Chains A and B, each alone.
Chain A
Amino acid sequence: MHVAILGNGVTGVSAALRLRARRPDWRITLVSGESTHHYSRPALMYVFMGHMRYRDTKPFEDSFWGEQRLELVRAWVTRIDLEKKRLVLHGKPPLAWDKLLLATGSKPNRFGWPGQDLEGVQGLWGLADLKTLHDSCARAREAVIVGGGLIGVELAEMLHSRGLGVTFLVRESSYWNNVLPAEESAMVGREIRAHGVGLRLATQLQSIEDDGRGRAAAVRTDQGERIPCQIVGLTPGVSPNIDLVKESAIPCARGILVDRHLRTRVPDVFAAGDCAEIERPGEKSLVQQVWYTGKQQGELVAEVIAGQEREYEPGVWFNSAKFFDLEYQTYGRVNRNVPGEASLYWEHAGGKKSVRIVHVGGKVIGGNVMGVRWRHAVCERWIEEGRGLAHVLPRIGEASFDPELFARHEQEIAAAFARQGAA
């Protein structure tokens, strides 16, 4: 039995490892055109800023793959041949498979802005982008980032670390406010500005000007502003990377359509991670595009490929990020327009720490923390068990995950929540 996995990101690798554990005798091959070895994509920014080297972003030593008998093929796939069950590779002989896992991830969105193909205009997706950005920095003094999400802030921080003047265009009236509630969104906005990045809210990109030699020279915004820049970072979100798959007979919509077992409609072909769109009878289909879901889906699809009847059940949601120096963690449902949703919110006087507990009629459904760390296991348990405020509030200390000796704020938080009527 030979399982080919297209993509060596976290989904593909999680699947490969789990499958190796389940099926010690199967042949497993990971195919990627981007890099020979798996690396941590979220760590790209740290390579650029000099916190780490590329080799430090690899979660496994190079010898690990051979020891686990996981074959690595470094090649771009140009066609998925379903009839002959093989992958056609660029510059290499085709790779035959018995089962195929598609873990192609996401690709950056592009909205057809005038000038988006100029030199100096780019997204941040992979190693090649990092190299391009590095080279562009050699002749750049100013940069404009477009798009108010997580990658945008990363890109702003990266370019800021190289001494560029950075302007950040955000379409919404407040940073990432489709995910963050107003207070947290404002806090991140303050953090971005505190680092000297020019944050332009409620501002959209109209066009990118050519300097006459095919390079970016400035952007024009819908507010009539012209901002000179030599680098334009486009980060208006990502969508499933399915260009290759769409050319095959594998049905796709937003992503590659899969059932709850992460099987596509073609026998022996599976999809997981950012590229998959999970159809759920009676519910909205699901496209999840964060690290953790990629890992979970990868591990689950490996069980299915190995013959287990397992269904993907998205558990209690969690995620985290860091905006410059501001850490953010979220658990459960926050700001999701759940009917009856209400929240208790505490913010530290310094304006760099906050705790939010979201509840529906007293039943806790989620929470956000900024500038403090909370314990995943505790938050997950509270939400899974459907605990009420009466249970959670006296136990907030249990959730703290801040380092030892750090200032604790439990009493202050309790007092603030009591004032908001949670007593």
Chain B
Amino acid sequence: MALDAKTLAHDFDEEALGFDAPARAAPERRTALHRVAAALMALGALAFVLFTTGLDLGGGWSALAATLGLATLGACLWFYVDFKDTAPGIRHDDTFFRGIQNRNLLGWALGLALTGFYVVLYFQPQLEKLGFPAVLERPARLCDPLARLFSGQDADRWFLYGLLYTLAVWVFGLRMFLKYRHNRYQQVRTASVMFFQLGFALVLPNVLKGLNQPEYYLTYFWPLKSWYGEPDGVHHFWTSGTLGMGLILFGALMILVATPLLTWRFGKRWYCSWVCGCGGLAETLGDPFRQQSSKTRASWKVERWMVHCVLVFVTLSTGLLWLNSWRRGEFLGAWSNPFSLTYGFLVGAIFSGVVGVGFYPLMGGRVWCRFGCPQAAILGILQRAFSRFRITTNGGQCMSCGNCSTYCEMGIDVRAYAQQGRNIVRASCVGCGVCAAVCPRGVLKLENGLPGDRFEGAGNPWSVLVESLRRTEGPGYRSWVGSGSAAPSRSDLA
């Protein structure tokens, strides 16, 4: 008999191989600097809690420095110490052994904490009516000196949120710089989202506010910020002076001219992973959790239906609101206000905020972008229909390891295409470039090539949308298995 008794007796369930929490010869190095960093973060957090409960930290800049300042410094130091002695390259060791990145109790707790924060942020007035204290009022006072610097006015809880958001993008952006110090694409892209977050989502709107101009976010347009395209929002900007009118024109040009043009040239990434604030947070704070996005065919189907339904919903509701406005309110009557609020509440607050960020540790950083964002839906249809962008597969070099799929935050089964030698042209791809970075065989490359070389794609936007909703198969071998037709496999060439 060729097989020895040991092999024959060998009987284990490979699905439950048990590689959790491996025994280590040397425990993970935690240096003195790690402890300093942890102490700084803890001190900052403690000061924050004490300040929130009423402790006087001297007001002004000193309070801000003692709380968010210390915590930020500690976090930056932590990441620096963590990466400074590692060699430049992909360092994903232990990703699936660390519980917080792998939906253990800590991961769920973090998800719950983020969700809780968003609930308090969005529903503070309602919670107050129910008797809960306005817990974000005191922390907002921390931001007063900064808010006054930008706008001359005191901070509100939205300013606090903007500051925390920007800090998260910058601190985890620094982490991205350290992690990808061998990768210029990642560095430039990260710098871009950091710049747009600070300049266009924090500073500029507040400066505009201080100048008595509309508080406008130049990086958001209808339909993502649906209010900008609704009668109410347009009226608001129209009546607030020349700048306001200019902003209406800017918004219209962005969605009608710049979006199709830029998406044709660069793919949807020009917005989703270079400019957008939601994308910016996903690419920085969300990076440690990207492997948690589901890659199943079922989740792909849910994604296609959900994201396009949101797009239809926001388009219909905006259209109805304009119809109503044109009929001077007779059309929706008393319903117009609640109707306008529905999108804001359901999609804006619950989906993009509470679920979108709250689920980072559970489903990766792109839950909102993948399942809910109407802007992403439009960009995706354009990308799929006629963009020059694709991820090129390098001939037959793929050996199906699956790093690309595992680390795709949008849940694309990249490997399914790469192992067939097919280019990847998917509506949802935000062009973050991580699949190409983690590939150990140099198989994937983001490119803006000639439309004809994309292998797949094209068609008019409408048929792309219809096909996307009707499609039932996964990406695996659908082009030939089952049909019995000739298989255009790249490896045939050899």
Contacts and interface: CB of A to CB of B under 8 A. Distances in A.
Nearest to A79: B1
A380 to B, nearest CB: 7
A376 B481 contact: no
Sorting the interface of chain A by its residue count into under 10, 10 to 19, 20 to 34 or 35 or more gives 35 or more
A111 to B, nearest CB: 18
A174 B219 CA distance: 55
A64 B491 contact: no
Given A18-B487, A194-B87, A324-B89, A54 B402 contact: no
A316 B494 CA distance: 6
Contact of A315 (B2, B23, B494): B494
B97 A405 contact: no
A92 to B, nearest CB: 12
Interface in B288-329: 296-297
A243 B3 contact: yes
Contact of A56 (B184, B402, B441, B494): B402
Interface in B1-50: 1-3, 7-8, 10, 12, 14-15, 17-19, 22-28
B88 interface: yes
Nearest to A322: B440
A406 B22 contact: no
A10 B23 CA distance: 32
A246 interface: yes
B339 interface: no
B395 A375 contact: yes
Contacts of B52: none
Interface in A105-142: 127-128, 130-131, 134, 137-142
Interface stretch (A157-165, A178-186, A274-282): A157-165
B231 to A, nearest CB: 42
B397 interface: yes
Interface stretch (A255-263, A289-297, A386-394): A289-297
A315 B493 CA distance: 8
Interface in B159-188: 182-185, 188
Interface stretch (B351-359, B461-469, B472-480): B472-480
A68 B433 contact: no
Given A50-B94, A327-B441, A320 B397 contact: yes
Sorting the interface of chain B by its residue count into under 10, 10 to 19, 20 to 34 or 35 or more gives 35 or more
Contacts of B395: 318, 375-377, 380
A294 B182 CA distance: 33
B184 A164 contact: no
A20 B477 CA distance: 11
Interface stretch (A40-48, A219-227, A412-420): A40-48
Contacts of A58: 402
B471 interface: no
Contacts of A162: 22, 24-25
A131 B17 contact: yes
B400 A40 contact: yes
B2 A376 contact: no
B406 A36 contact: no
A64 B474 contact: yes
A55 interface: yes
Contacts, number: 236
A213 interface: no
A76 interface: yes
Interface string A304-331: 0000000000111010111011010100
Given A42-B399, A52-B402, A375-B395, A131 B3 contact: no
B416 interface: yes
B273 to A, nearest CB: 13
Given A10-B400, A43-B401, A56-B406, A163 B25 contact: yes
A422 interface: no
Contacts of B397: 292, 318, 320, 329, 376
B96 A325 contact: no
Contacts of A78: 1-3, 8
B209 to A, nearest CB: 36
B442 A244 contact: no
A320 B96 contact: no
B482 interface: yes
B103 to A, nearest CB: 12
A271 to B, nearest CB: 15
A39 B440 CA distance: 17
A195 B491 CA distance: 35
Contacts of A79: 1
B183 A403 contact: yes
A320 B441 contact: yes
B96 A51 contact: yes
Nearest to A43: B401
Contacts of B92: 46, 49-51
A90 B3 contact: yes
Contacts of A40: 399-402
B394 interface: yes
B454 to A, nearest CB: 15
A404 interface: yes
Nearest to A40: B400
Interface string A374-409: 111100100000000000000000000111111100
A423 interface: no
B437 interface: yes
A40 B439 CA distance: 14
Contacts of A380: 395, 493-494
Interface in A193-252: 194-195, 243-244, 246-247
A54 B184 contact: no
Contact of A405 (B184, B416, B485): B184
Given A137-B22, A162-B25, A403-B446, A51 B400 contact: no
Contacts of B27: 163
B342 interface: no
A246 B3 CA distance: 12
Nearest to B6: A128
Contacts of A48: 19
Contacts of B88: 325
A64 B419 CA distance: 15
Interface in A39-89: 39-40, 42-43, 46-61, 63-64, 68, 76, 78-79
Contact of B442 (A21, A52, A64, A373): A373
Contacts of A403: 183-185, 433, 436-437, 445-446
Contacts of B56: none
A141 B25 contact: yes
A421 interface: no
Contact of A299 (B23, B182, B489): B489
A351 interface: no
Interface string B78-89: 000000000111
17 contacts: A46-B403, A50-B92, A64-B476, A78-B3, A78-B8, A134-B17, A134-B22, A244-B3, A295-B491, A315-B494, A320-B442, A324-B89, A375-B394, A376-B395, A376-B397, A380-B395, A405-B185
**Top 5 closest A-B pairs, CB basis?**
A376-B395, A325-B89, A315-B494, A373-B442, A243-B2
Interface of A: 10, 17-18, 20-22, 24, 33-36, 39-40, 42-43, 46-61, 63-64, 68, 76, 78-79, 90, 127-128, 130-131, 134, 137-142, 161-165, 194-195, 243-244, 246-247, 291-292, 295-296, 299, 314-316, 318, 320-322, 324-325, 327, 329, 373-377, 380, 401-407
Interface of B: 1-3, 7-8, 10, 12, 14-15, 17-19, 22-28, 87-90, 92-98, 182-185, 188, 296-297, 392, 394-397, 399-403, 405-406, 415-416, 419, 433, 436-437, 440-442, 445-447, 474, 476-477, 480-485, 487, 489, 491-494
Given A21-B481, A376-B397, 18 more contacts: A33-B10, A43-B399, A52-B401, A54-B17, A54-B19, A56-B402, A58-B402, A61-B476, A127-B17, A130-B17, A142-B25, A163-B25, A164-B26, A243-B3, A247-B2, A375-B395, A402-B445, A405-B185
